[in-house]
Amino acid sequence: MTKPLLSIHDLEVSYGAVQVLFGVNLEVRAGEIVSIIGPNGAGKSTVIKAVIGLVEVQRGSVEFDGRDITNLPAHVVPSLGVTYVPQGRIVFAQMTVTDNLEMGAFLQHDARKRREAVDSVFEQFPRLYERRSQPAGKLSGGEQQMLAIGRALMLNPRLVILDEPSLGLSPKYVDLIFEHLLVLRSQGRTLLMVEQNAARALELSDRGYALELGYNRFTDSGEKLLANDDVRRMYLGGA
């Protein structure tokens, strides 16, 4: 079996005196979509924030491509090939779609390569090309999420981490976003996402991790987790 691209071992994280992760373990292999599911307060977003250096790890380790990146400063992580799509469709509202994308290529100093990256995103998201000169704040919620994902692709990352990509979107755009994630995987991208829409996330995931109160509760393929009666009862509303 190939070595994981991302490995999290016995991760413990606290916010002040309150511990929120208790020995969490997780792996992501190249070319996979892996989802983290669980109720509010389970520690899902804290796991990915620990990976990208937004929270301090008290114990345990985070390894990317065999390198220990535990508590690496957040501004260094993108240079390793890890990019992040935050929760809430965060875009630069007054800047155009094209300018927003170019902000995602802040480490790329070659203008030609930046243009190529922009063209690649427009090919992936034709709707963004149609709106390329519009202020990002004028886009719909679904279009802003496409823009946030496109911006994360600008550095041609080896791992894209997404926090609640379907949050607050209409059913139409939820479908579109998940379709785009499947296309990205078909192109060889590796994706790790936190997602409240657990059933939809597991449907498209190679593997999933269910957290509860900061602990690993279930780990299996997306297909097997969907078929697990306990998972269905506890995380999928019995559906």
pLDDT in tens, the chain (239 residues): 678 999 999 999 999 999 999 999 999 999 999 999 999 899 999 999 999 999 999 999 999 999 999 999 999 999 999 999 998 878 999 999 999 999 888 877 788 888 999 999 999 999 999 999 999 999 999 999 999 999 999 999 999 999 999 988 899 999 999 999 999 999 999 999 999 899 999 999 999 999 999 999 999 999 999 999 999 999 887 65
The rounded distance, in Å, linking the Cα atoms of 105 and 151 is: 8
- What is the model's pLDDT at position 111? 83
What's the Cα-to-Cα distance from 219 to each of 4, 105, 198, rounded to whole Å? 15, 35, 13
The rounded distance, in Å, linking the Cα atoms of 202 and 212 is: 16
- What is the model's pLDDT at position 32? 96
- What is the model's pLDDT at position 113? 87
Q: What is the 3-state secondary structure (H, E, C) of 33-94?
A: EEEEECCCCCCHHHHHHHHCCCCCCCEEEEEECCEECCCCCCCCHHHHCEEEECCCCCCCCC
- pTM of the shown model: 0.92
Inter-residue contact 92 to 136 (CB < 8 Å): yes
Inter-residue contact 28 to 63 (CB < 8 Å): no
| For the chain, domain boundaries | 6-235
Inter-residue contact 60 to 9 (CB < 8 Å): yes
Which tens digit of pLDDT belongs to each residue from 30-73? 999 999 999 989 999 999 999 999 999 999 999 999 999 999 99
The class level of CATH for 6-235 reads alpha beta
